[in-house]
Each structure stands twice: as structure tokens, then as C-alpha cells.
Structure 1
């Protein structure tokens, strides 16, 4: 893998969440590194936040592994169209849904239309999220707190509630939590709190669904080069993002997507309630 992303990342910022991938310099690595092996052949996967970042990389990888893809995105139409095209270039079928996963009726509609289009649902990946930097707790407004929790945790409840009637024995749910759930983050206190809630939900739901044969696991990335980064931090922080990790760099979305794939497919058939940690060498939860 080239290290151009670590040596040529200029200071940059974006004004709106969740950020535009096509405006990032350089663009993240999202393409899978290896040929597919049919690990999701004939499966249908629903992926939130699928237009960019980890969600895009996961969507493309799943398509390469044989899945049909439904993905949800907030409002970045250009990024979503590119993701759809990349899925189709892998030979996959794709449908995209534009909207807010914090809206329960939207989540119900997404699941209903996915099942109507593809006749089934086998894998749910809860990836969508947002974060907003605040130096002090008092800076976090009620509106920001509500918005962050509604997107990051309410949205997971809503879409998972809609999906569960269609999931069956052998199917999988993969939730994206974060290293911040384990270590905290002093300028992302509300975001880190939602990621802790996702971790607790993953463990709790895995026990609730174990007797039904539906596995629930999580992935807790460290610093990953996605549109959330220039949309969240000042330009100087973006330029050095990830440099404090043991491996000395930020990760790429296509370094996280294989962990999601592992938990989504039968390779992880004896795992539920667990979390994988692609984070550049940080030891957490030990």
C-alpha cells in the first residue's frame, strides 16, 4: 500500500457534515485489495452511510464478494452516485436511499423497499454517523447533542428494528463503534458517548438474538481517513491526523472493510457480541 496519504495530505477543512469524499485531498483508498471469493454470494446487504468512507469501501467489497447492496446516505448525491457506479462495476446490483436515519419512518421505508426490490435481507451494517468538535462540555448545545445521538444511536435502533423481522438464522448485524468508546475523546464527548452506547447495544443485542441464530458484532476503528475528518477538525489537525498512532498514520477505509466482511460472512460463524479493532496498533480493552 502506498503511503502517499500520509506524506501528501495538505491542511483542509469542509463546512458541512458528513463531508464530501470527492473534495478530500487525497481521496481515501476504498477499493478492495484482493479478488472476491463468493463469501456473500446471493446475499443482500443494507449498509447505512454507504456513500463514502468506510461505508463506501464496505459496499464495494461486499459487491465483489457477491452481495446485492442497498445503501443509505444523508445528502451527498455525487458521492452516492459514484458508490453506486463502483458497486455495479463489481458486477453487483445497487439501490441507494437518500435521507436521515434519525427518522424512524424513513428507516421503515428503506427496509421495506430493500426487501421489495431484492426479496430478502441477510446483512445489516450500521455505519452512518456524525461528529462535532467541542473543546468544552458547555459548548455542546442541546441541538448538537440531540442531533448526534439521533444519527449515531437512535438511527441504529430504528433501522435495526425495521430489519429484524426479515433476518433469519445465519444472518448478521455489524455495528461500527469506535476506539473512542474505549479511550474517550476530549473534544468529541457526545460522539464518544454514542459510540459507547453502540458498544453496549452490540453486546446486549447479541445475547438477545443468540437463540435465533442472528449474530451481532462490532468494529471499532481508530483514526480512519474519511470525510468526517475534514468536516470535523481544524485544517492543522487534519494534516496530522492519525500520526500519534503506534503505526504512525491514519488508516484507510479499505483497511476497515475486510473486518466488516469477516463479521458479515460465515467465516465468523462462532462469533457474536465481539468487536474487532483496526486502529493502527492501539491496545484497548485489554
Structure 2
């Protein structure tokens, strides 16, 4: 029997053959060159019409969590606009092809989230191309480890905050005039917001900021019928890890410190985004849904 996201399984034994290898790519990296390949749910995610007719914008949609979310949204019936860096075109086109197979509209809008003008244009292109907008997923992110605070350059600190925080702010602000009651905003934070690593000071700081932004904006928009929530992934196998996201000596044991004992796969995150995007979560606002392999969060 083929497995899907509803198959009864032992989570500790899922992906038993997953064996990450030491490898290094320059930023932003390509999933096409990553070994082993992450599971995006392309062979396992089964939709059931939970987002039929919805119109979603997803940043960082070329690979990893964003790609898995794009595939799941499409199979649930949503049209999708994908944002990603121009250097990630190969990955983006691969994912866009999978999304199109679901019979929905897909837009590919490359650009840099550090650019406010691009963020505003991205939203407008999504609205024009999809005929509206009612789901925004702020997922694009930058992570580069540094052993010492003194090794974090002003440029890296600025780039990390602009990508992870400013991009979210610019996209969300531009999207708000287009969002009707019933719309949802979902931001990607991290276990790092709660258990910050000593080598990810700038990245962890952005993720804590995203948590606070989510909870504050949720209170502002809930009376208008717009829900704002976040997902906090634990260690997830994506190209981010091999583009200086983690030291090389940690790659082979990546994720083994979790209670489940392994790294998560992007396919295991997508259902959380589907839940928060769908009407099933109508009474959920200002929540951070942790998908951490059992690592506790407050």
C-alpha cells in the first residue's frame, strides 16, 4: 500500500534510510544538488479540497518547507504564487511543474525579499495573476552560522533581518488591502525562537521577532476576520543547512538530538500550513504551531 500523510506510521521509524552527507553549497543553494533529496510530499501528499478556490502567495517556495507547502496547497485546490530568488530558478520550475499537475494556476515571481519594491510588486503580481489573494505564507529565510558574534558582519546581520523580518513586514503590509475576512497569514518562525543556538545569534533573533510580530498582528486583525499564525519548525532537512546554515561537522548527525531522533522532512511541515490556512482553524489566531520532533516549546 502506498503511503500518504494519513498512513498510520511510527514517526521514529519514518525515513529510516535518511542519511545526510557532509556537503557544501554557496548561498542560496539548489535543492537539485542536495543529497539526499528532501521529501516535499510530491509522492505522498493527498489533497481533499480543503483549500478549494483559495489564492495563496508563498515566499521561499522553490524548495524545502515553502515548496512542500506549495504542493500541498495546490493539491488542496488553491492557486499559488511562488516567490524565490532568481538563482533558485531551477528548483522553482521543478516545483511549479508539480503544482501545475494539480490543475491549479501557478505563478513564478522571482526576486529578492530584501528589496521593498520587489515585495510590493510581488503582492500585486499575485493579486493580478490569481485574481485575488487570501493566503499569505511568509516563509523565505536566511540562515548562516557564525561561531562568534564578532564574526557576524554588519552585512550578514542586515541581510538576515531584511530577508526574515523586513520581507515579512513588506509583503504583509502590501497584502493587507487585498485580504478579505476569512483570509489567513502564516509566518515561519523556528525552534530557534525558543531554544536559540549559540552559533545562530542573528537568525534566532529574527525568529523570535517573527513570533512577536505574529502575536501582535493577530490581535490587530482578528476583529477584521483575518487570522495570523505561525509555524515553528525544528531541524528540517533543506538546502539551508548546507549553505552555511550548519557547520559541516553537524550535518551527518543533523536532527538526531530531537526526542523523535531524526531530522524532519518538509513534507511533515506542509499539513501544519494547510491546517492554519483552512477554515478548520477558524478559532486559531496568534498561535505558533511547533513542529519540532518533540523538542519542547513554551
Say whether residues 1:216 and 2:224 are aligned partners: no
- The alpha-carbon deviation at position 34 of structure 1 amounts to 4.2
- Residue 273 of structure 1 corresponds to 286
> Among 46, 50, 69, which residue is 1:58 paired with?
69
Tell me whether 114-123 or 168-177 shows the greater mean CA deviation.
Answer: 114-123
Say whether residues 1:40 and 2:46 are aligned partners: no
Q: What is the rounded CA distance, in whole Å, between the counterparts of 1:265 and 1:149 in structure 2? A: 29
Q: What is the rounded CA distance, in whole Å, between the counterparts of 2:238 and 2:15 in structure 1? A: 17
Secondary structure in 1 aligned to 2:137?
A: strand
Distance change >3 Å, CA 129–CA 34, structure 1 → 2: closer
- Residue 21 of structure 2 corresponds to 10
Q: What is the rounded CA distance, in whole Å, between the counterparts of 1:64 and 1:78 in structure 2? A: 22
Answer whether contact 1:13 1:233 (CA < 8 A) is retained.
no
Q: What is the rounded CA distance, in whole Å, between the counterparts of 1:148 and 1:108 in structure 2? A: 19
- Residue 148 of structure 2 corresponds to 136
- Residue 229 of structure 1 corresponds to 241
Aligned residue pairs total 282
Normalised by the length of structure 1, the TM-score is 0.96
- Residue 259 of structure 2 corresponds to 246
- Residue 111 of structure 2 corresponds to 99
Q: What is the rounded CA distance, in whole Å, between the counterparts of 1:101 and 1:247 in structure 2? A: 34
- Residue 164 of structure 1 corresponds to 176
- Residue 206 of structure 1 corresponds to 218
For each residue in 1:239-275, what CA deviation from the matched residue of structure 2 results, as whole angstroms up to 9, or x when unmatched? 1110111111000001011101100110100000001
Q: What is the rounded CA distance, in whole Å, between the counterparts of 1:236 and 1:21 in structure 2? A: 20
Q: What is the rounded CA distance, in whole Å, between the counterparts of 2:24 and 2:218 in structure 1? A: 38
- The alpha-carbon deviation at position 235 of structure 1 amounts to 2.6
- Residue 20 of structure 1 corresponds to 30
Q: What is the rounded CA distance, in whole Å, between the counterparts of 1:155 and 1:99 in structure 2? A: 11
Answer whether contact 2:81 2:130 (CA < 8 A) is retained.
no
Q: Which runs of 5+ in 2 are unaligned?
A: 1-13
- The alpha-carbon deviation at position 118 of structure 1 amounts to 1.6
- The alpha-carbon deviation at position 14 of structure 1 amounts to 1.2
